Structure 1
Amino acid sequence: MSRVIHVFRSPDRFVAGTVGQPGERTFYLQAVHDKRIVSVMLEKQQLSVLADRVGAMLDEVKKRFGAPIPPSFTDFTDVNPLIAPVEPEFRVGTMGLGWDAEAVAVVVELLAITEGEIDESVVLGDSEEGPDAVRVFLTPHQAREFVARAASVISAGRPVCPLCGEPLDPEGHLCIRLNGYRRGAEIDPTDIQDVD
């Protein structure tokens, strides 16, 4: 069976979003054009890396080629949730990123997770063999919007402990920097020992 590549050359929408409560969120990317909707599932870390790389690519393209790239921004206009029901086509394994100078567009490709390694020529290619993929062409403005919204989605989770950087749960947090004491718990002064 040959692979399926979902191509969005002029998407109406390409956004990151989540389903679930902080601490139990599932992350998705969703591409939309007219009534066609494709969603894929990915890890929070993958989303963070993709957003960082898209932003860095835009900066590099502007610097090297003088392309009309808007500056970074934190506000974004598409604040709507993912279109429900969210039914993922696949879980993302490999991601590809490119610049199409002719179309003046960032090309994002998301490939389904596979058991083994994939040939690099499959990424951003039209080979008949390989994992299913979603390929989205984003204008520079759409790419900046994607980066801003992704940053907002990532930061909307649980707050992090200022001491160790681990997520704080509503019921408490055993902080390794406090030697296992629950953050906010009273510490008995007799338990504290001086170290010479």
Structure 2
Amino acid sequence: MEVVGQNVSERIIFNHEDATRFIVGTIGVPGERAFFLQTASAVGTTTIAVEKSQVLALAERLRELITEVRRNKLASLDELELPASVDNSNLEFPLDEEFRAGVMGISWDPQTQRVAIE
């Protein structure tokens, strides 16, 4: 998984090829919560600040993408039949925000059969 961030002076790329974790978590009380997207792999953990609306849009787009991949059989049958993995654990601390997300993009790479989130 490639996580791409935009810095004022340069593009920041965090590449998590074999992500072991990809979650959204919150800090704070309802109405005052801060939302974070966190990805972990052998190379480390990346934490990105996101807006609630971005989380909702990301979840909806991922649902659509998974439906499309299944409908069009774009992944191997073994991959399509794996049960969904659920991670209800908290965000990993200490929480080091790398950057605040701007525009996010999601794509499917048929060669690697992986989702890319930028």
TM range (shorter): 0.7 to 0.9
Change (3 A) 1:61 1:77: closer
The match for 2:3 is none
How far did residue 103 of structure 1 move?
Answer: 1.0
The match for 2:23 is 15
Q: Which one has the bigger strand percentage?
A: 2
Task: Give CA deviations for 1:86-105 in whole Å, capped at 9, x if unaligned.
Answer: 12111111101111111111
Moved over 3 A (4+): 70-73
Unaligned runs of 5+ in 1: 110-196
- Is 1:78 aligned with 2:87? yes
CA contact (8 A) 2:22 2:39 kept: yes
Please, what is the CA RMSD of the aligned residues? 2.0
Equivalences for residues 1-196 of structure 1 within 5 A: 2-34=10-42, 36-67=44-75, 68=77, 69-70=80-81, 76-109=85-118
How far did residue 35 of structure 1 move?
Answer: 6.1
Task: Give CA deviations for 1:54-106 in whole Å, capped at 9, x if unaligned.
Answer: 11011011112353334896xx5321100012121111111011111111111
Query: What is the CA–CA distance in structure 2 between the aligned matches of 1:4 and 1:89, rounded to whole Å?
Result: 9
Q: Normalising by structure 1, what TM-score?
A: 0.50
How far did residue 34 of structure 1 move?
Answer: 3.0
**Percent identity, aligned pairs only?**
34
Q: Normalising by structure 2, what TM-score?
A: 0.80
Unaligned runs of 5+ in 2: 1-8
Change (3 A) 1:86 1:36: same
Change (3 A) 1:87 1:77: same
How far did residue 14 of structure 1 move?
Answer: 0.8
Q: Name which one, 1 or 2, has greater alpha-carbon Rg.
A: 1
